[in-house]
A and B are shown apart, each in its own frame.
Chain A
Amino acid sequence: MNAADLRLWTTALRTIVIKEILRFARIWVQTVLPPVVTTALYFIIFGGLIGERIGEMEGYRYMDFIVPGLIMLAVITNSYSNVVSSFFGSKFQRHIEEMLVSPMPNGIIILGFVFGGVARGLTVGVAVLIVSMFFSPLSVHNPVVMLGVVLLTSILFALAGLINGVFARTFDDISLIPTFILTPLTYLGGVFYSISLLPDFWQGASMLNPIFYMVDAFRYGSLGTSDFSVTASFAIIAVFIVLLYGLALWLLNRGTGIRS
């Protein structure tokens, strides 16, 4: 890699990231506001009304317990949906060709979309965090773990969204996985409960759910309590990131879904 390549890569990457951020910022009423409103309703209904009757979870007020999970829920769904809709949209309108005819490597295209997804995931995550502070005091046990988990999680789901976008041929294809896989896994990943409440079999089954590790590690960073080793959670997330990046790069190099 020489200086010209480095300039090409950094400029191209910055261009895609700015473009992606402007894209979701221009339509913030569709992209940022709805998850904030939905999460506020979760806080009111589950945290406030029902939570008062549930009592404590793992030694914390139910409202305090669900805050980390709901922030992660927002980060996961928004990182994913930003990239899948943007990438599929660029295929659908064919402006992905603007990037494909240019000399930037496919790895930069992937990073550009992923960083755009991370930006939206973090934006919505911060907005949800601010809303949560109206219901529950901000609790930070380990800020490095909190930030690290949320960052890696958004990278992971942005990559997953991109792969979904690569294979998608219709608008149905970009909503199938979020609806039938992502949402159930997130809800069953310990957002609203501790898996220690589950029977042994379902506790074991929960360990196969990658989202459980992310929610659990983030909860550790916030509250200092977790069902699983935080270090192992980081390792699992990192392995998934490497695998998904490798898969995305292989697909783009092969031209799957984007080249005849």
Chain B
Amino acid sequence: MTPALEIRGLRKTYNNGFEALKGIDLEVSPGSFFALLGPNGAGKSTTIGIITSLVNKSAGEVRVFGHDLDRDPRGVKRSIGLVPQEFNFNQFEPVGEIVVNQAGYYGIPRREAWERAGHYLNELGLWDKREDMARMLSGGMKRRLMIARALVHEPRLLILDEPTAGVDIELRRSMWDFLQGINEDGRSIILTTHYLEEAESLCRNIAIIDDGRIIENTTMKQLLAKLETETMVLDLAEPPLAVPEGGPIPLRRIDDLTLEADIHSNQNLNDLFQLLDQQGIRVQSMRNKANRLEELFVRMTRSETTSSTLTPGGGGASDRQEGQA
């Protein structure tokens, strides 16, 4: 089956000599919901920029559903819808016209463009705002407008570069539902995000890019299986008389009503509860100390970056510095 995206030996060196991509190979299956993760400045936005013809590549090959970027750039462009990281629409243009004009750039006649715009603006809760100037929209609405605009020409591959940055949790979850819906309808999706919980919830496949190289490219399941130890936080019903030490599962007392347990991948929760039951410790609730993907991500990229770029929920930091570097 023709891959949705196929990248071979992709390199990018900016005019000032900064090497943003150092030979990337990547393949995204059709129908996939694919996460492309990496710290700021790792090369995510440069990669997306090259795929969408906003950045000139230095070397390598890019194919989208078999269309080669060098030989058939129009075929590539027709196949892709882009939701960029930063707002890139005319703030002084009405919402409906932004979507309709985008359809026009793909050769869709105005009447049909309005029908399609109506469909997607309705789906994304923006139809009532179609005559409002884009600058009047809230941040979340602007993000949804960019999704409607990216879908209006019915692309087979949707690329979302941090689509939920700065969006409140309720709206973020409704956007997840929407994106899962269009993925289930057969559209391939590539997502970059700083919310690793988002990638873990939505994506079945994942690649991690760091310092211009792909350092991991696998399924989400296989990646998470690499996590050797998970730390669980246990909220207790009452203070324990004693906390067992030196057992098969290390336990730490955080305060009178909180314990932490480190569970190795070859252990399971039954072992933990058996241990607690033996000690008469009653657990009221339990949660992961950190998002599993986040833990792995930090470990894999730690050598190249500072952890300050990986603040959970700290999206919004711009990768544009790549382009300016």
- A interface vs B, CB < 8 Å? 4, 7-9, 11-12, 14-16, 19, 22-23, 26, 89-90, 93-95, 97-104, 255, 259-260
Distance A90 CA – B52 CA, assembled complex (angstroms)? 18
**Which residues from 130 to 186 on chain B have a C-beta closer than 8 Å to any C-beta of chain A?**
149
For residue B73, which residues in chain A have a CB less than 8 angstroms away from its CB? Answer: 103
CB nearest neighbor in A for B12: A260
How many residues of B are counted as interface, with CB atoms below 8 angstroms from the partner's CB atoms? 36
Kindly identify which residue among B53, B88, B107 contacts A8, using a CB–CB cutoff of 8 Å: B107
7 additional A-B pairs beyond A93-B90, A101-B53, beta carbons within 8 Å, are A15-B104, A15-B110, A98-B89, A100-B53, A101-B80, A103-B106, A104-B107
SS of A interface (majority): helix
For residue B1, which residues in chain A have a CB less than 8 angstroms away from its CB? Answer: none
A97 touches B54 (CB 8 A): yes
B74 touches A93 (CB 8 A): no
CB nearest neighbor in A for B325: A260
What 0/1 pattern do residues 41 to 72 of B give for CB contact below 8 A with A?
A: 00000100100111110000000000000000
- B interface vs A, CB < 8 Å? 14, 46, 49, 52-56, 73-75, 77-78, 80, 82, 84, 86-93, 97, 101-102, 104-110, 149, 323
Distance A99 CA – B73 CA, assembled complex (angstroms)? 14
For residue A255, which residues in chain B have a CB less than 8 angstroms away from its CB? Answer: 56
A-B contact pairs, 8 of them (CB 8 A): A14-B104, A16-B104, A22-B97, A93-B89, A94-B88, A100-B54, A103-B106, A259-B53
A94 touches B80 (CB 8 A): no
A102 touches B105 (CB 8 A): yes
Kindly identify which residue among B55, B77, B97 contacts A103, using a CB–CB cutoff of 8 Å: B77
Kindly identify which residue among A4, A14, A26, A259 contacts B54, using a CB–CB cutoff of 8 Å: A259
Kindly identify which residue among B55, B82, B91, B105 contacts A260, using a CB–CB cutoff of 8 Å: B55
CB nearest neighbor in A for B133: A26
CB nearest neighbor in A for B153: A102
Q: Most chain-B Cβ atoms within 10 A of its Cβ — which of A93, A102, A255?
A: A102
Distance A16 CA – B104 CA, assembled complex (angstroms)? 8
Q: Most chain-B Cβ atoms within 10 A of its Cβ — which of A8, A9, A11, A12?
A: A11
- Nearest-Cβ distance from residue B278 to partner chain A, whole angstroms: 62
